[in-house]
Amino acid sequence: MKPFDPVRLGATPAPDRTEFLVWAPAAERVEVNVVSQNRSQPMEKRDDGYHYAAVGSVRAGDRYLFRMGDKERPDPASRSQPTGVHGPSEVVDAGFPADAAWTGLPLADYVIYELHVGTFTTEGTFDAVVPRLDYLKTLGVTAVEIMPVSQFPGGRNWGYDGVSPFAAQNTYGGPAAFKRLVAACHKAGLAVVLDVVYNHMGPEGNYLNDFGPYFTDRYKTPWGASLNFDDAHNEHVRRFFIESAIYWTMECRVDALRCDAIHAILDFSAQPFLEELCSHVHEHAKRAGRQVFLIAESDLNDNRVIRSRELAGFGFDSQWSDDFHHALHTMLSGEKQGYYEDFGSIDDLAKSLTSGFVYD
C-alpha cells in the first residue's frame, strides 16, 4: 500500500499559514485566490501534476478559489462550500468535539436506521437531528446511516448527485455541524454510517474536468461519464477518493462507510480501486485504535466483494442484501418491473435470509 504525499489534498490550516494542494496536470499555472482577503498567490507545479502553495495568514473561515487562466473554480477537495457548488471553498478547522472514549461498535451489533437529514426534521439540518437521537434509541437502533451529504446543488436533494466528496452540505449546516452530529451520536452510544458515492459525480457544479482526467471514455454509467479508476493517471483519481474516505472516517470520526452501487465502478486493473480503498481505510483505523467498517452496495452477487484481500477479495466488511430487499418488496407490493422481475416467491425470500444471495 503506497503512502500518499504527507500534504493532504485541499486546504490544510496551520497556526501561521494554510497549505493548499490540488492535482491539475494540464494547467501550467495555478493560483490560490483568497477571495476573503482579496489577494492571490501562485502555486508551485510539481512533476506529478500537483500544485502546492503555503499561504501565510490564511486561517479557518477564509474563502478561496483556484485560478487557472481565465477560469476560477472551487477546490475539488473542498471541506466546505458555504454558498453552494459554484461558490468559493472555505478553509476548515480540522478539530473534532471530544469523544475520546468512543472506539466503535462491533459490526454484528449494528441495527441501522437510514436517515435523510433534509427530511428527518422540519429544520432539515444536522443539529436538528441531535435532540431526536434518544427517540431512535427507543426503536432499538444502534447505528445511524446518514444518506449522502457531500455538497450537491440546491437546498434539498437525495444526495446522489454530489460534486464535492469532502464537503458536508451547507444547507444541512456544513462540516462543523456534521461533526457535532457524529459526536452526539457517539455520546448516545450510536455508531454512524455515512453513505458515500464514489461511482459517479453529479452534473451541476462538477468542475473536475477543468483540473484533470478524472473521467474516462472507456465506460459509461447510468448517470454519465465513468470515473477514471483504470485509465491513464488513475492513481491520482484513486488518491482523491481514498483521501475522501479517510477524511470522513478519521477527521469526522464516521464509524462506517456505505459505498453506493460499487457495481457501477468500472475498473479492470490488477489491483482494483475498491481493494485499495478498503486497505487504506482499514489501515488508518487500525493505527487509530478504532473499529471502522466498509459496507458495499452491489448487485453483482459476487462474494469477492466481501472476501478478504488475502483470498483475492476486495476486503469489504459486509454488503447490502439487495436480494432480500427485492424479494420482500415484490411480495409486499406486487411490483415486477426492472430488477424486480426475477423475484416474487416465498422461496426467494427464504433463500435471501438463509444464503444472502438468491441468485448465486
72 catalytic residue (yes or no) = no
Distance CA 341, CA 277 (A): 33
267 catalytic residue (yes or no) = no
Distance CA 98, CA 184 (A): 10
Dihedral pair phi/psi, residue 134, rounded to 5°: -60, -35
Q: Which amino acid is at 246?
A: I
Q: Which of 297, 322, 323, 348 is catalytic?
A: 297
Residues 6+ apart with CB under 8 A from 41: 31, 32, 34, 53, 55
**Is the Cβ–Cβ distance between 274 and 317 less than 8 Å?**
no
Distance CA 329, CA 320 (A): 15
Q: Which of 260, 275, 322, 348 is catalytic?
A: 260
CB atoms within 10 A of CB 315: 21
Distance CA 112, CA 312 (A): 29
**Is the Cβ–Cβ distance between 105 and 93 less than 8 Å?**
no
Of the chain, the end-to-end C-alpha distance in Å amounts to 32
From the number of C-beta atoms within 10 Å of its C-beta (0-12, 13-18, 19+), residue 299 rates as middle
Distance CA 228, CA 224 (A): 13
Catalytic (active-site) positions: 260, 297
